[in-house]
């Protein structure tokens, strides 16, 4: 009976649906300028004007001391992942460069952007916090591409569904978003590369005085954004799982049969 229970437990563990072991897949770590990767785009949106800041060393999200809102856009080229791959896990990590009013923990949400936008190379004034006049094609609060394409809704077009929430602290702290929402977004972008418009980063306390943070951007000298993706390439699955389950099932059945045939003590 003990043997039977142990075998059944192993079979149950092997047959219950779960994420495949990461060790059997591939790991992709994307950082601007590392291993020749140049696929990150990020910029800030400024609610009070048509400024942009795609070339600034940081991206902003929250509300400043003049009650002006900021939101950040971020996107990574995923062409290094072959179509048909299965995404197992995703995490996006940013480092806080500055924290308005030296405030502590604030929650930030990621939402999937639903339309294309431009980054540009404008460097913002006052350490980037106010942006600078946008060049043609830059994303601004009003426009996905300044001078040509407006957002449907000022402040960016994005899904109301939250892809992930994480807490950002004071300067120097690291914030990481992860979970099913990010994984599902990346899976969709790998399956449909033309729909990869990245995420918008919003403060859950947008509108509150001096609750704004500056995160290191892909143009920063250090602590640039990191997107980590674990995935299975096309056609790759857990090896031998089916064979193991069948073998254990046969073993259990054989053990039960032998137990029934074994003479019982009188």
Q: What is the mean pLDDT of each run of 10 residues along the chain (266 residues)?
A: 44 43 77 98 97 97 96 98 97 96 92 98 91 97 98 98 98 98 98 98 96 97 98 77 40 43 48
First to last CA, the chain: 20
Residues 162 and 231 in one domain: yes
What's the confidence (pLDDT) of residue 113? 98
Q: What is the pLDDT of residue 125?
A: 85
Indicate if 46 and 166 belong to the same structural domain.
yes
Going 219 to 220 to 221 to 226, the CA torsion angle's sign is: negative
53 and 174 in a single domain? The answer is: yes
- CA neighbours within 13 Å on the CB side: how many for 105? 3
pTM, two decimals, is 0.82
pLDDT of the residue at 22: 42
CA distance 69 to 71: 7
| Same-domain status, 208 and 127 | yes
Does one domain contain both 115 and 10? no
Q: Is residue 103 part of a domain?
A: yes
Give a three-class secondary structure readout of the chain. CHHHHHHHHHHHHHHCCCCCCHHHCEEEEECCCCCCCCCEEEEEEECCCCEECCCCCEEEEEECCCCCEEEEEEEECCCCCCCCCEEEEEEEEEEEEEEHHHCCCEEEEEEEECCCCCCCCCCCECCCCCEEECCCCCCCCCEEECCCEECCCCCCCEEEEEEEEEEECCCCCEEEEECHHHHHHHHHHHHCHHHCCCEEEEECCCCCCCEEEEEECCCCCCCCCEEEEEEECCCCCCCCHHHHHHHHHHHHHHHHHHHHHCCCCC
**pLDDT at position 193, please?**
97
pLDDT for the residue numbered 225? 98
Give the max Cα distance, the chain: 96
Q: What is the pLDDT of residue 24?
A: 64
d(CA 266, CA 250): 30
Statement to judge: residues 194 and 166 lie in one domain: yes
Task: To the nearest 10°, report the CA torsion of 130, 135, 138, 144.
Answer: 100
Residue span of the structural domain in which 68 resides: 22-236
Q: Beta-carbon neighbour count of residue 77 at 10 Å?
A: 17
In a domain, 253, yes or no: yes
Q: What is the pLDDT of residue 103?
A: 86
Name every residue whose Cβ is closer than 8 Å to that of residue 178 and which is 6 or more positions away in sequence.
89, 90, 91, 92, 164, 166
Q: Are 82 and 233 in contact (CB under 8 A)?
A: yes
Residues 1 and 63 in one domain: no
Q: Is residue 169 one of the residues assigned to a domain?
A: yes
Q: What is the pLDDT of residue 239?
A: 52
State the pLDDT at residue 75. Answer: 98
Q: How many domains would you assign to the chain?
A: 2
């Amino acid at each position: 009976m003990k043997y039977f229970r142990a075998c059944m437990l192993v079979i149950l563990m092997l047959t219950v649906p779960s994420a495949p072991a990461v060790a059997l897949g591939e790991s992709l770590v994307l950082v601007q300028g590392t291993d020749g990767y140049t696929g990150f785009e990020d910029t800030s949106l400024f609610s009070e004007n048509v400024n942009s800041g795609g070339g600034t060393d940081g991206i902003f999200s929250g509300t400043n001391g003049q009650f002006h809102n900021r939101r950040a856009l971020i996107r990574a080229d995923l062409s290094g992942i072959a179509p048909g791959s299965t995404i197992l896990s995703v995490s996006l990590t940013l480092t806080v460069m500055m924290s308005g009013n030296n405030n502590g923990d604030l929650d930030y949400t990621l939402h999937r952007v639903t339309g294309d936008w431009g980054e540009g190379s404008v460097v913002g004034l006052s350490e980037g916090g106010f942006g600078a006049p946008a060049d043609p094609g830059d994303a601004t609060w009003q426009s996905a591409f300044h001078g040509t394409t407006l957002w449907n809704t000022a402040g960016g077009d994005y899904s109301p569904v939250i892809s992930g929430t994480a807490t950002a602290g004071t300067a120097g702290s690291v914030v990481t978003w992860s979970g099913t929402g990010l994984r599902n977004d990346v899976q969709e972008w790998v399956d449909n590369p033309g729909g990869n418009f990245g995420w918008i980063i919003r403060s859950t306390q947008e509108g509150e005085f001096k609750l704004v943070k500056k995160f290191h951007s892909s143009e920063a000298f250090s602590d640039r954004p990191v997107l980590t993706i674990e995935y299975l390439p096309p056609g790759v699955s857990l090896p031998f799982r089916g064979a193991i389950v069948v073998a254990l099932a046969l073993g259990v059945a054989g053990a039960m049969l032998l137990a029934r045939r074994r003479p019982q003590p009188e």
